Every structure is written in structure tokens, then in C-alpha cells.
A and B are shown apart, each in its own frame.
Chain A
Amino acid sequence: MKTLKICNISKSYRGVPALCNLELTLSGGRVHALMGENGAGKSTLIKLLAGVIPADSIKLLKDGEPVSLTSAQDAHAAGFRFIHQELNIVPQISVAENILLGRRYPCWFGPAINWRSLERKAQEALAFLGADHIPVKKIAGSLPSGDRMLVKIAAAFVADKEEATADLFVFDEPTAALSSDESRKLFKVIERLKNRGAAILYVSHRLDEVLSICDDITVLRDGHLVSTGTVRQTSRNALIHAMTGRDVKDAYPPRTSPIGVAPVVTAKNVSNEHLHGLDFTLHKGEVLGVVGLAGSGQGELLRLLLGDGKPKSGTLAFQMSPAPGSPNNAWRKGIAYIPRERRGEALMLSLSIRSNIVLPHLARFGWLANKHAETRIAEDLCEKVRLKYDSIEQTTSQLSGGNQQKVIFARALFGNPSLLLLDEPTRGVDIGAKFDIYQLVRAQSAKGCAVVLASSDLSEILGMCDRILVLQNGRQTALLSRDNMTSADLLQYFYTQEAA
């Protein structure tokens, strides 16, 4: 495919326009970034291209030929492939089966599956992507998330051998769940797809990523096209301006108050089944970054501090007394936690904003539910986190990702915690909301709240943290001071042991 012209595409929900008369041209062999804040219309565009929602008006020209798009089957036949951030592989079956899922399995005779041929096909698809380190017989659920993403891509790719060629790959926030190392592998794969002549539409919130791997950039705001052009013609600041409509001079608010002296968390040689040799002291108002390759134990470290699991050896103290033994105990002592998976671990999507905010703090209202007091406090907190909402009683499923994250922040800020545990707090959050979140963290730290921030976004770590703890396979390998470090410097520590 040489070009895919998307003309005159519009969609509105109940009279509210989500996309207005958008025009976009994608070219084979080029990576086209699609950017914009949450609610700008990116997801709507993807859903229209996938044929899963009907457009109000749509016109597609593939190399000048019109393409009709009324169902997901049409999209597939047109050669469009979609890779979403949710890694929706089937965890119980093998990698090979995942790759050929939905295709006709190769058979011996009748219904008997020819497993060897099936595995060979899967192997070929992976090899093409340069991902032949993934064993095809392995059960897919046991793969790390980066490899799962590659399996998904292989699955999108394998189809074209028998059916329509895939000429458009749409990546929707593919790196949201990946470590930087895994992301690099993914970028290599995207490079290969591009060299093969496929067009790639790449949706991401991560500016650095977009600037380094994309050729063209289109920015949407409120359903309208704001700017489009090549990457070379644009800059970081211009992009932020285009997306938010305002200038963001400094994404990370600077520290304005000194770090305290009183220790909040003291870990002395702490180990459990996932973590080894944790040794650090976290002071009042200090922000500690936790980094490492994906799955190195960042999440486990936060959970340990939350009391979900106990240290097997060593001593772990919170404010000079033994660390809490359960999440219940931790919240009561003023430890607040923001989990990594917003939907899976933090929110009750079917419950109201109010219920979600007050949930860990219900005991403070007594055994009788006090809706008035809850509403008052929840509304105060919503204002503090600058949540955009209609009613405190609306369910959190109706909020955008960034606003959902703010609800979780409001929950954490209830009653001014003395320790804030953040696991990827800005993942999948748009630039504007990110900035709000950084300011909230700074404000808490200024009040003396200690913060532990686990993140795979190294610029965020460098921008926010005072000290940085590096984990390798659950072992603490370095405790660094932030001064004058760059991402490249920091990245070195991820691999030191392998190098040595």
C-alpha cells in the first residue's frame, strides 16, 4: 500500500461531537504518530477504523480505491490490524495457539490438529519480528508483558500469509505496560514492519518515544485536527502546546521545601520471597524513586510497605515502630497507596466517585454510613485534585483515564497521609493531568509526606525524585542521589550485574 487517505470522518455521541471532519493521510513505510489528551478523539478514530462503531460519515481511499468499512470483518479484510495496550492474549493456551487464534489451524485430516505445522507457522511469524527468543510451546500466561505484546503483534501479522495483507498497523499505547527494555524491542519490530512497507499509526502519550520513532505527527484536540506534519518540523514544546493549548514550560515542578530529618520508613536488610537486601531510610518529605527492568520487584516493594505480605528477614519500621501487617493497618496508620492497575487494583468502576474516595477511610465515619459527611469531604478532595466531574454520585466508569487517576489520588490524599506509595501513577494519563498529578505530589511532599514513586518513565523519576533505588531481580543494587543524572546514566545501573 502506498497511501491511505482518511477523508471527512465524523462521529458524535448523542449530539456531542467526538470527531469533526477529520482528514488524515497515512503512507506505507512511515510511522505516523497520533497524539492528543484524553478525550481528544484518538480512541474514537481507532474504533472507527476498526469498524467496531459506525461513523456518522467516513470516506477511506486506499491507493485511490474506496474502502467500505461497516464491520470489524471489513477492517480486517482491508488489511487493518490493531494492537491495543490491554494485552488480551489467552493466558491458558500456548504461544503458538495465541498467534494462530481465530485462524484456521493447520490439520492432518479432518479435525486433528497438525501441531508441528501450527508451531512452525507461529515460529515463522515470531522470527520475522525478530522475536524468536519466545518459545512457541510455552503457555502464554507465563510470558513477561513485553513478550505478550510481541505475541499479539505476531498474531496480527500471521494472518496476511493466507488472507489480505496487513498494510496498516494501529498501535494504541503499546508501551504503557512495557519496561524500557521491552519498549526498545517493540520499536525494532515497528522498524521492521515499516521497512516492509506497512503504514503504522502510533498512539502514545509519551513524547520522547514519539519523537524518536515516528516520521509524521498529527495532534488532535477536542475532536479537531490541530496540527500535522513531519517530526523534524516540530519540537517538544510545540507538541505540548498543540495538545494542551497552553505552554508548559517545566513539566516537573521543582522542590520548594527542604527534606525533613525524621525517618518515615527504615529498612534494614529486608528480604522476602520476591525482594532481597532492601536497605534504605526514607525521610519526611523525601521522594524516593524505585526503578529497574519490568518485573524487578517495584510493585512488590510498594506492596511490602503497604503491609500486603511480610518481610522474611531484616527489620522494616514505619515511623520508628514495626511496619503495618496488613493493608487495613497501613491505611489506618496514614499510608496511602496508588496501585499500578487503575481498573484492576484501584477502582470500583460500578461505584460512585464518593464511594471510591472514602472507601479506605469508612471507619472514620463510624459504623453507620454518613453520606453527608462523606459527600462534603469527597467534594473538597475532588477540588483539590482538580477533578472534572458532573456529580459526586456518578460512577467512575464514566470518567476518562486521567480523571479516574485523580479519583484515586483524592482517595490517597484523604486525611493527609504520611507516606504515599505510587506505582506508575501517570501511566495512560494525558499531559495536562500528568502535570496536575506532579504538582499534587510536590504539595504533599512539602507538607512532610514521604513519597515512594515506582515508574518506568525515567524522565518522571529524574524530574520528581530526590533519591533513586534501583532493583534488579528483586535485589536492591543501588541507592543513588539524583544530582545531575541523565536517563542514560540511570539506565546503566539496570544492567550492572550482567555487565560485571
Chain B
Amino acid sequence: MIEKLRHSGTLLGFAAIIIFFALRLPDTFLTARNLINISQQLSMLTVVAATMTIVMVMNDFDLSVGSMASLAGIVAAVLFSMGYPVWVGILAALAVGLLGGFFNGFLVSVVGILPFVATLGTLTIFSGMAFLASGGKTIYGRDIPAGFSGFARAGIPLDSIGFSGLKLPYLSITAICVVALVWFVLEHTTFGRRLYAIGGNMEAAHLAGIRVKKLRLLAFGLTGIGAAAAGLMYASRVASANPTQGSGLMLDAIAAVFLGMTMSQQGEPRVLFTLIGVLMLGVLDNGLTQIKVDSYVREILVGVIVILAVAIATISKRKS
């Protein structure tokens, strides 16, 4: 019973937050429009956090996702401004994400640098490359094709199921697909199971015949692609690309994974719990803006809640 309570403490907190906002904002909070808004607002963070979960399963992490997101947006935008079609820009950006991720993986698993140091280094490398490629400018306006920026504004109309005038945004759908994919890979493939084993005990995994180096390399590659995809989504949403625009994603993504880890059996990252962590952060942002809490107070509250959730989980784990 106590065990159950420990794992669901964060979940109860989440429920409490929702109930609180629902009572406080009866007309606007639990409306289909607002929930769809939240899902769209969170789509980029969801993609980064879900793919971040892949490396965090192995007890690694990737600090470079934010600048990789910026770089991917810039790569696509620069190609658009040179007249390449949309699909070329997208593929090139995803390829850059994959290569950058592999580079992280190479540094961490083959060279053997601590993930903190390696990805701190690539954070500034990717960021510098984004500045270099863009000349420090924001690429916007006519350079961004309507087909690209339109993606973030369009969706599947929901009129047929009774929500007239509403649409399920493509950004939200993309995020849901990414979460489903990561969930499938981590929980239902031997690849994912091996990643959890590496997280459980890397040396033991190596001696049990798991190709630790190769798997870590691959996992970082996937995180890189995820960051690039989020960067493209971001660029589409703001219809522009700026060499710093993704930098806010990294800390929130790590915070979301940590929040999620407080809900799992052994404190291991699980992508569905990560999603709840993302939702928690997003609902707080949305609700607190609506009840006009000062944005700085909001930041303090978010930090307090992350620390509180992790602290409660840690303390109750120690007691049990």
C-alpha cells in the first residue's frame, strides 16, 4: 500500500494540479480547445523528452539536444532559403540530428568521455554551427515556405466528432507518434530491453555479451534525431529559425524525465511516465498563465514542484 502510494505520489500531485485549475478556471481550463492548445504547445518538448528517455534509460544523458534542435531548424531554413524543396530540408535536418547524435555516442561510448562533459562540449559545438550557418540571423519571412510553416498551423478537423471549428494539430499527432514509437522500442524490442540492462549495470551487461558500445552509439543517434525533429517542429511553429531558439528544451526535457522516474517501480525512466512529466510541466505553464501568476513566480513553482516530487520519491524510497 505504502509502496503503491510512493509510485503514485507524483501522479496524485498531477491530478491535484488538474483539479485545482479545473476549479479555479471552470470556463476555460478543461475545454477541448485549451487541451488541444496544451497538446500543441507541448509537442516539441514531448519529442525531445521522449527521445531523451532513450539515453537516460542507460543512465546517460544528452545536454546537447537544445542546440541540436536549433541547428536542425537552421539547417532546414538555410536550405529553404537556397531554394531547396521542403522534403530536402527536413531530411537534411534529420540527418544532421542523426550524425550529431552518433558523434555524441562516439564520444561517450567509444572514446569513453563522461556524457556530461561530452554533450556539454557538443552543446556549444552545435550551437556554434547554428550561428555559423545562419550568420547569427533569424531566418524568417519569405525564406520559410508556407508548406513548412503551415504544418504547425494545420491539423485534422474534429467537426465530425462534435468539436466544430477545432482541429487536432499535426504537431500533437507527431508528438504522439514519437511517444508511441519510443514506447514500442524501449518496452517491446530486445534493443530496448538491452538498454535497460545497460542502465542496470553496464559492466555486467558487457560481460553478459551485450554490445554496449554499439547500443550506446545507436541510442544517442536516436536522441539526436528526436532533437532534430523537435527543432523542425519548433521552426515550423515559429515560422522562422534562430540559432538559439531550441535552447530552452534541454532542461525541461531532463526535468520531465526525472519527474517520470519518480513514478516507476525502480526509479528507472519509462517513456509513458516521461509523458506525464511533460504534461505536468505544460499544464502548470498553461494554467498559471491563465490565472495570471507572474511568469517568474511560475518558474520558481515549476522548480519547486520538480524538487518536491523527486524529494518525496527519494525519501519514501529510503523509508521503505
Contacts and interface: CB of A to CB of B under 8 A. Distances in A.
Interface of A: 306, 308, 326-332, 337, 339, 343-351, 355, 359-360, 362-363, 365-369, 395, 411
Contacts of A329: 209
B102 interface: no
Interface in B179-236: 187-194, 196-197, 199-201, 203-211
B266 interface: yes
A350 B209 contact: no
Contacts of A345: 201, 203-204, 207
Given A363-B190, A369-B188, A337 B207 contact: yes
Given A332-B209, A359-B194, A359-B208, 20 more contacts: A326-B209, A327-B206, A328-B209, A328-B211, A330-B209, A331-B208, A339-B207, A345-B204, A345-B207, A348-B199, A350-B199, A350-B268, A351-B196, A351-B266, A355-B193, A355-B196, A367-B190, A369-B187, A369-B188, A395-B266
A339 B197 contact: no
A367 B265 CA distance: 25
- Residue among B193, B201, B205, B267 with the highest chain A CB neighbour number at 10 A: B201
A346 B188 CA distance: 23
B191 A344 contact: no
A29 to B, nearest CB: 40
A105 to B, nearest CB: 31
A346 B204 contact: yes
Contacts of A343: 201
Interface residues of B, number: 26
B204 A344 contact: yes
Given A327-B209, A332-B209, A395-B266, A369 B201 contact: no
10 contacts: A326-B211, A328-B211, A345-B203, A347-B201, A348-B199, A350-B199, A350-B268, A351-B196, A369-B192, A395-B265
Contacts of A328: 209-211
B207 A308 contact: yes
Given A331-B209, A339-B207, A348 B189 contact: no
A327 B210 CA distance: 7
Nearest to B187: A369
A365 B190 contact: yes
Contacts of A368: 188-190
B191 to A, nearest CB: 7
Interface string B109-126: 000000000000000000
A287 B210 CA distance: 27
Contacts of A355: 193, 196-197
Contacts, number: 88
B189 A349 contact: no
A360 B203 contact: no
B314 to A, nearest CB: 15
A350 B200 CA distance: 6
Given A362-B193, A363-B190, A327 B204 contact: no
Given A328-B210, A344-B201, A411-B208, A362 B266 contact: no
B210 A359 contact: yes
B209 A360 contact: yes
A365 B192 CA distance: 13
B117 to A, nearest CB: 18
Given A327-B208, A330-B209, A350-B266, A366 B190 contact: yes
A348 B197 contact: yes
Interface string B82-124: 0000000000000000000000000000000000000000000
Contacts of A308: 206-207
A330 B192 CA distance: 22
A203 to B, nearest CB: 26
Contacts of B266: 350-351, 395
A395 B266 CA distance: 9
B53 to A, nearest CB: 16
B207 A346 contact: yes
Contacts of B208: 327, 331, 337, 346, 359-360, 411
Contacts of B189: 367-369
A343 B207 CA distance: 13
Interface string B232-271: 0000000000000000000000000000000001111000
B207 A349 contact: no
A333 B114 CA distance: 33
B200 A369 contact: no
A327 B208 CA distance: 7
Contacts of B210: 327-328, 359-360
A95 B211 CA distance: 37
A348 B204 contact: yes
Contacts of B207: 306, 308, 327, 337, 339, 345-346
A344 B203 contact: yes
Contacts of B196: 348, 351, 355
A351 B194 contact: no
Contacts of A411: 208
For the complex of A and B, 4 pairs with smallest distance between CB atoms: A348-B200, A331-B209, A350-B266, A362-B190
Contact of A359 (B192, B197, B203, B268): B197
B182 to A, nearest CB: 15
- Residue among B201, B205, B207, B211 with the highest chain A CB neighbour number at 10 A: B207
